[in-house]
Structure 1
Amino acid sequence: MMRKHVLFSTLSMALLQGARAKLCFMLYQMADNNLEYYIRQDYQELSSSAFVRSTDAKTWVYHDAYGGQPLPSTVDSVGRSIPGNSGSSYVTYDHSLGRMRLDTTLSGEQNSDTEAAVLNFLTHAMTDCLANGYDSLMAVFSSHGGGFAGYGGDENVRARHRSLLQPNRQVASAIRGALSSVSGAPDKLDVIGFDACLMQALGAADDYMDVAQYMLASEAVEPGHGWAYAYWTSASDSVSLAGQVVSTYLSQTQGGGHQSPKVLSLISFEAYSTFVAQLEGFAAVLLERIQTDQTLHAFVSRARASTVAFEGIVDTVGTHQPSAMDIGSFLNAFAQMCNPSESSDLGSALTALRTAYSDMMVAHGVGPGTAAGTGMHVTWPPQGEYQRNRALWDTILFTNRHYATNSAPNFQAFLEYFLSAATPGSSAGDSVCQVAAQPAGQPVNPSELLSRPEANIESTKVTLTAHMAPRVDQVVVEYAVDLSSPLKPFLEDRGYIPSDIEYLYLKGGDVRGSYQGNTFEAEWNRDFYFLNITGQSKFEAIYVQDQGDGSKAVPVMYFPESQREAASAMQFLDFLFFDFEFWVEQGARYGFLTFSVDQTTGEVDNNLILFTSDVGGTAFAEKSRSDGGLIIPLIYVHAFIQDRKIDTLPGGFNQTIIEWREDLDYHVIARKADVIFDVIPSTDAVVATMYGFDFGESDSALEAEFFDIIRPDRGGFADIDIATDSSSGMLKTLFALGVAAIFCVLHL
């Protein structure tokens, strides 16, 4: 169901009720990029908040602008409005004026992604704060975030669109330098915070543990509105304010409705050290055992496949398993699946690790429509994604000193083995897991990955169940419309001879499932989704990913205003032979729309927001409608036509290009599978597909079972041989022309 929750530990309550102090709040706003629109909003919210007016707080802001507009609600030392400036400024709240006051304008265009820029600002702000008795130090960094890859993304005029992130070690070094150079400064900040995407990560926290007592950040991408600054009230110290940040961020809609994903946590670095030590102990045992224990290997794979995960900066849009894997979710899933004995070395290590992880979380929570993350992620790509781009992942995970999680070498060693190794042979009954991967009486043919799936078809839902071989790493379920019959007469009309193996399926999305022992089960509510724009004749079937807990994502390509003319001029063949690399070079970006579905009522919450990978084509951030631009939805198909395999249709069957504007209303509409036959009578069937993956064996990496959900005048399963030719050819045009004609009437 739709939910919002905030959890505060006993430690946090004690801290929030502790001795009063005066708070020095230092906000580093790196707005010299495509986030300026949102960061200026944050500045306005902060300047009007009750918090900034509190005499218990001293506020300092570093603001590096992009467009050069005057800072809102800001004056000079005598109360006059200040002119616009595309450079960098130090601003403070002046209690005597009751306004934000410009303190310093830095000369020349600053590159805010340098250690010197961070060091100079923090030194300036700390010196003033400590001299005036504000000794509870909290530094917050607001801009793009990439987790292990760092923070920032300054597009200064000397290198506009350079879009590099500042490494975490460099930011930490600047903090350390300021603390050591300012008279009276403590050894560490009380709180370091990131109003940025993905920063509550194992691969980022390890760089900051020596410069702060606590860390406040999101493990997922953040909606552009960021933290709810306007709702902050007085706070006597940094930890008290951090508690307010968590609760207000999750509870306030900040414009019309809750956007997703919303997840935020405050961790204790003292407890983090214990957590890392326990992680290292667990990883060492796991690595030793998994090399010979087939059952254990299966449950690690399946726990990873079922774990809550968020889009990381290296992920391919549309992946079934993003790489920012929630740690607590994995530990819970693995404990349930494997259930190692408490008396075993793995069982005791797992228990200690789960306890340490929980103790580390001072406060955390998720908002409505967000998958139930537990507070921190680690970069752990699915095995299939790793193998498709092994050189890149090896650099990120194991060899790059800025990216690799060097504080956890045992975990790194386990991950490197697991991602690259094949499933071990039989455990011969001596598995450390107390749950068998394949219980007696439910055998799977040794040559197969999945047993014959069973489908329990009801009027409101379909439950799909299959048994897995022990070597199965992951199972994916997708639903689709079978349009093979409408395709064949189209080919005949154009002089081609259809063969019996040709087929065409329009995919509607995927469904998350659950793993129990050797059984996989997924439940589909029979809904297909369509994107409608009020007042326009845009109505397109979309592919929707199920991210869990009502959270949904739609893969798209985004074209900025600078590419409007070129994108609008695309012709039919440009869609069919869509050159992704070319358009990315021209400024287009991969992205995804997010929305949510109330799991109690099934109603769609049309809180659509667009995330794009605008920073170097990597870090995801919300794209404001005020930026304009165009969207092309990425529609996935399963088709084999005239010896050609086709899997993606940018723009769908109608070559849809969608305006991204403030004055348009976007709605996702759900329609039951039964409606498809009323709209397209020649439709063959609504089907579901269950894919089993064994990433350790290249010759059996994929196995699929197709089966009918609805097929007029025909029941049971539909067995279809899967064509494997991945080449493309001119005949892509043929099926698209025909299906475009079929789907042009799909205005439900």
Structure 2
Amino acid sequence: MRVQSAGNLLFGALVTGVLLPVATQAKTCLMLYQMADNNLEYYIRQDYAELTSSPVLGSSDLRTWVYYDALNQGGQALPNTVDSNGNAISGTFTGSRYVTYDPSYQKMRVDVELSGEQNSDTQASVQNFLDHALSDCLSNGYDSLMAVFSSHGGGFAGYGGDENARRKLLQTNSNIAAAIRASLDSAGGPSKVEVIGFDACLMQAVGAADDYMDVAQYILASEAVEPGHGWAYSYLTSAASALELAEQVVATFLSATQGGSHQAPKTLAILDTSKFATFINSFESFSTDLLSLLQGGDVSLHSFVSRSRAASVAYEGIVDAVGSRNPSGLDIGSWLANFKALCNPGAPLQADLDTAYAAYNDMFHARGVGPGTSAGTGMHITWPNQGEYVANTALWNQVLFQNRNYVTEITPEFRNFLGWFLPSGSPSGGDGTTVCGAGSAEVNPGNQNGNQNGNQNGNQNGNQNGGGNPVDPNALIIDDSGVEDASGMFNLQATIAPAVSQMLVEYGIDLSTPLKPVLEEKGYQPNDNEYLYLLGGDVSGSYVGNTFEASWDQKFYFLNISGSDAFEALYVFDQGDGSKKIPAMYFPEANREDVSNLQFLDYLFFDFNFWIEQGARFSFLQFSVNETENRINDNLALFISNDAGVFTEQPRSAGGYLIPIVYIDAFIQERQLNTLPGGFNQTVIPWTESLGYNILETPALNIFDVIPSTDAVVINMYAFDHGDPNKEPDWRVNF
């Protein structure tokens, strides 16, 4: 389904120092399509309870209609709701209903009980509901229209995910837009709804907006995964117009805590579709000139395109593996700002870039991110990392260029750019001239602390030079250094070759010595060549020309379960701006006995495909750090994926088990290993309301107290050439 403070909330008019105009009084029709026939039912029912007890519900300015498709396994009766005769409803509720607010009862009233199982992922289901709601709203003078869709979201892939009878594919954006168009035309109302909203993941995307721009004046959505709690409905107070209600949604979602703390990620934006085409036109012109220069052999430009892509904020898309190191939902504003700062191009690219960047910022009526969320700027576009594309070329070709439901038809020039750039290989040749460095020096670099994650797996027998010029003349890292400053930060810097598309810094622990007694304890004979580097996480960094810089606070993270001595070392992704993520595997309650019987070798040689077939899912734990106060926020949340690749927060009430996935560089019992599910202690963690979970941080020097036989704390720096899939990363170790 669907993680900043109010100070980070940017309303378009306020950015220019102009106050927002007073909203024209209108009567708002809220049409909420809650598709809860899936694993989000727990959260969507909460949303229904929040909305139906909120101050806004009884406003004379608001007429409310809700379509609710419940989980077919059965659930409690809808709260604050009476039947068509005004009688209280009891018992389980498994069907689908049209419900409206009735001021005579001051409750929601069931208006239509639909017979039989409904597939809510059809155009007909959406259109039938909208026909019913629009007819009532327009006939009663409620013509400021707001249609909100609440469930799973997949950006370009659509919305929904009705799981009854094994239905798990999303409904396409084009089908939903067609349903809205047909209902508007049939009702004889306005040509567009004022606001279309998605209380769902990933829907503020170019690949979705292109379908809705002709049926909505504004699009209210998140470009990232949403916390399970969704919008803060209980804080809504008034609805002078659909747009005014949307503004409240943005402000309350970003500023209000739900459940006692801010969960991450939280992003939300209101897109003005009347300005969307202007941005697309300028972005297409920029893409055309960018491709032409790249095809002309501008080596520096090629490098800076890759590096700015690697440095920018990006969010997991529906095609990405959960917890992907290189998510494909690239924040557009972040990349444009980073590319401008890194390349600083001359004409004609500079003018194209400035025009596109200005048009991008201008099309948002409101936008913001919450505390502990990477500093996104409102909207993402699908752009996989070069290495991810090379590893899954057929899949990405389907998504980007071949599947008519997924391909973003509105950006053919950008598709042409991706079609050339992704398989283009390493930059080479050219005459040494470049457009980069010829522009104005006055640039706004924006956030450069995006996801720097690459492939973590090095080779223990690789180049281990600690600095100076490497022996290999083809090395990607030309020279490097690492030093601790007075504040305790360990600062790294490297000069990198033109072929470098991405840098990665990882820290870890050399546990080669304590590995041997563990093997003996388990009944195995240690070999002299065995080693184990337990990695603790990565560190985001930034690029300046051909220099890469990163700083590590020399802290490791552990998961502690309150009331017990259980703790486990973690691998933590640094997503920038205090956002942190822990990869894991989730097992449903049905796998309790299987998980409890896992043995030592099961962890070492974990068969991910086998466990996925048994119902396990890749997952990640999300939390954040308040970097100003240097403390860990109490907002740990678990996200898992379903068969359709859709991300969902898993409530603790749903139960199940998880094991953290720790990345390693190891050679154990004649096998090269890169992951250790369960960590060094092989921990299986119940996911339940009855336990408390705490993320603890430990200074690097304390590691020797926690694990006395530790050989060393290490920090590694890797350089990747994603244009050459057969080239091993160049790396430095033990600064």
**Normalising by structure 2, what TM-score?**
0.91
Matched, 1:76 2:68: no
- Of 332-341 and 599-608, deviating more is 599-608
Matched, 1:136 2:136: no
In the alignment, which of 166, 171, 177 is matched to residue 171 of structure 2? 166
Q: Which residue of 2 aligns with 1:727?
A: none
SS at match of 1:698: coil
In the alignment, which of 617, 621, 625 is matched to residue 589 of structure 1? 617
* 1:104 maps to amino acid: V
What is the Cα deviation at residue 433 of structure 1?
0.4
SS at match of 2:680: helix
What is the Cα deviation at residue 423 of structure 1?
2.5
Deviations 1:223-282 (A, max 9, x none): 000000000011211111110000000011011100000010000011111111111101
Q: Which residue of 2 aligns with 1:667?
A: 694
Distance, in Å, in 1 between the alignment partners of 2:470 and 2:349 is: 27
What is the Cα deviation at residue 370 of structure 1?
0.6
Q: Which residue of 2 aligns with 1:92?
A: 100
Deviations 1:493-518 (A, max 9, x none): 99999777643100000000000111
* 2:360 maps to amino acid: Y
The answer to whether the 8 Å contact 1:444/1:468 transfers is no
SS at match of 1:285: helix
* 1:390 maps to amino acid: T
What is the Cα deviation at residue 405 of structure 1?
0.9
Poorly superposed stretches of 4+, deviation over 6 Å: 11-15, 441-445, 489-500
Distance, in Å, in 1 between the alignment partners of 2:14 and 2:276 is: 14
> Relative to structure 1, is the Cα distance of residues 699 and 75 closer, same or farther in structure 2, using a 3 angstrom cutoff?
closer
The answer to whether the 8 Å contact 1:595/1:609 transfers is yes
> Relative to structure 1, is the Cα distance of residues 490 and 558 closer, same or farther in structure 2, using a 3 angstrom cutoff?
closer
* 1:168 maps to amino acid: N
Q: Which residue of 2 aligns with 1:65?
A: 70
Distance, in Å, in 1 between the alignment partners of 2:399 and 2:61 is: 43
SS at match of 1:704: strand
Distance, in Å, in 2 between the alignment partners of 1:381 and 1:375 is: 18
Q: Which residue of 2 aligns with 1:700?
A: 727
- Of 80-89 and 113-122, deviating more is 80-89
In the alignment, which of 610, 619, 644 is matched to residue 638 of structure 2? 610
Matched, 1:283 2:310: no
Distance, in Å, in 2 between the alignment partners of 1:3 and 1:498 is: 56
Matched, 1:145 2:153: yes
* 2:48 maps to amino acid: Y
* 2:479 maps to amino acid: R
Q: Which residue of 2 aligns with 1:315?
A: 320
Distance, in Å, in 2 between the alignment partners of 1:93 and 1:495 is: 67
What is the Cα deviation at residue 682 of structure 1?
2.6
Deviations 1:355-397 (A, max 9, x none): 1100111100011111100000111111111111111111111
* 2:79 maps to amino acid: P
> Relative to structure 1, is the Cα distance of residues 540 and 297 closer, same or farther in structure 2, using a 3 angstrom cutoff?
same
Query: 1:188-199 alignment to 2 at 5 Å?
Result: 188-199=192-203
Q: Which residue of 1 aligns with 2:539?
A: 511
Distance, in Å, in 1 between the alignment partners of 2:362 and 2:319 is: 30
Matched, 1:117 2:128: no
SS at match of 2:582: strand
The answer to whether the 8 Å contact 2:603/2:677 transfers is yes
What is the Cα deviation at residue 562 of structure 1?
2.0
Q: Which residue of 2 aligns with 1:178?
A: 183
* 1:681 maps to amino acid: P
Distance, in Å, in 2 between the alignment partners of 1:588 and 1:490 is: 27
Distance, in Å, in 2 between the alignment partners of 1:128 and 1:23 is: 12
Matched, 1:207 2:211: yes
Q: Which residue of 2 aligns with 1:387?
A: 390
Deviations 1:165-186 (A, max 9, x none): 1111111111111111113x11
The answer to whether the 8 Å contact 1:444/1:469 transfers is no
Q: Which residue of 1 aligns with 2:248?
A: 244
In the alignment, which of 626, 647, 663 is matched to residue 636 of structure 1? 663
Matched, 1:627 2:634: no
Matched, 1:371 2:374: yes
SS at match of 2:108: strand
Distance, in Å, in 2 between the alignment partners of 1:14 and 1:127 is: 35
What is the Cα deviation at residue 492 of structure 1?
8.8
Q: Which residue of 2 aligns with 1:50?
A: 55
Distance, in Å, in 1 between the alignment partners of 2:700 and 2:339 is: 35
Distance, in Å, in 2 between the alignment partners of 1:491 and 1:246 is: 54
The answer to whether the 8 Å contact 2:5/2:254 transfers is no
SS at match of 1:275: helix
- Of 65-74 and 637-646, deviating more is 637-646
The answer to whether the 8 Å contact 1:589/1:617 transfers is no
The answer to whether the 8 Å contact 2:479/2:496 transfers is no
> Relative to structure 1, is the Cα distance of residues 683 and 58 closer, same or farther in structure 2, using a 3 angstrom cutoff?
same
SS at match of 1:207: helix
* 1:151 maps to amino acid: Y
Deviations 1:430-452 (A, max 9, x none): 2010179xxxx999974110023
Distance, in Å, in 2 between the alignment partners of 1:581 and 1:136 is: 50
The answer to whether the 8 Å contact 1:2/1:598 transfers is no
Q: Which residue of 2 aligns with 1:22?
A: 27
SS at match of 1:356: helix
**Normalising by structure 1, what TM-score?**
0.90
SS at match of 1:567: helix
In structure 1, runs of 5+ residues without a counterpart are 709-748
The answer to whether the 8 Å contact 2:300/2:436 transfers is yes
What is the CA RMSD across the aligned residues, in angstroms? Answer: 2.2
Q: Which residue of 1 aligns with 2:705?
A: 678
SS at match of 1:235: coil
The answer to whether the 8 Å contact 1:463/1:521 transfers is yes
Q: Which residue of 2 aligns with 1:718?
A: none
In the alignment, which of 714, 717, 723 is matched to residue 690 of structure 1? 717
> Relative to structure 1, is the Cα distance of residues 675 and 56 closer, same or farther in structure 2, using a 3 angstrom cutoff?
same
> Relative to structure 1, is the Cα distance of residues 687 and 182 closer, same or farther in structure 2, using a 3 angstrom cutoff?
same
What is the Cα deviation at residue 617 of structure 1?
4.7
* 1:56 maps to amino acid: D
* 2:648 maps to amino acid: A
What is the Cα deviation at residue 219 of structure 1?
0.3
Q: Which residue of 2 aligns with 1:726?
A: none
State the identity %: 58
Matched, 1:266 2:270: yes
Q: Which residue of 1 aligns with 2:403?
A: 400
In the alignment, which of 495, 505, 509 is matched to residue 481 of structure 1? 509
> Relative to structure 1, is the Cα distance of residues 447 and 2 closer, same or farther in structure 2, using a 3 angstrom cutoff?
farther
SS at match of 2:9: strand
* 2:192 maps to amino acid: K
- Of 576-585 and 277-286, deviating more is 576-585
The answer to whether the 8 Å contact 1:116/1:174 transfers is yes
> Relative to structure 1, is the Cα distance of residues 406 and 442 closer, same or farther in structure 2, using a 3 angstrom cutoff?
farther
Deviations 1:53-72 (A, max 9, x none): 10001000000001242110
> Relative to structure 1, is the Cα distance of residues 560 and 4 closer, same or farther in structure 2, using a 3 angstrom cutoff?
farther
The answer to whether the 8 Å contact 1:228/1:245 transfers is yes
* 2:61 maps to amino acid: D
Distance, in Å, in 2 between the alignment partners of 1:530 and 1:40 is: 34
Q: Which residue of 2 aligns with 1:645?
A: 672
What is the Cα deviation at residue 192 of structure 1?
0.4
The answer to whether the 8 Å contact 1:68/1:87 transfers is no
* 1:65 maps to amino acid: A
> Relative to structure 1, is the Cα distance of residues 258 and 495 closer, same or farther in structure 2, using a 3 angstrom cutoff?
closer
Distance, in Å, in 2 between the alignment partners of 1:328 and 1:666 is: 35
What is the Cα deviation at residue 36 of structure 1?
0.5
* 1:217 maps to amino acid: A
> Relative to structure 1, is the Cα distance of residues 490 and 10 closer, same or farther in structure 2, using a 3 angstrom cutoff?
closer
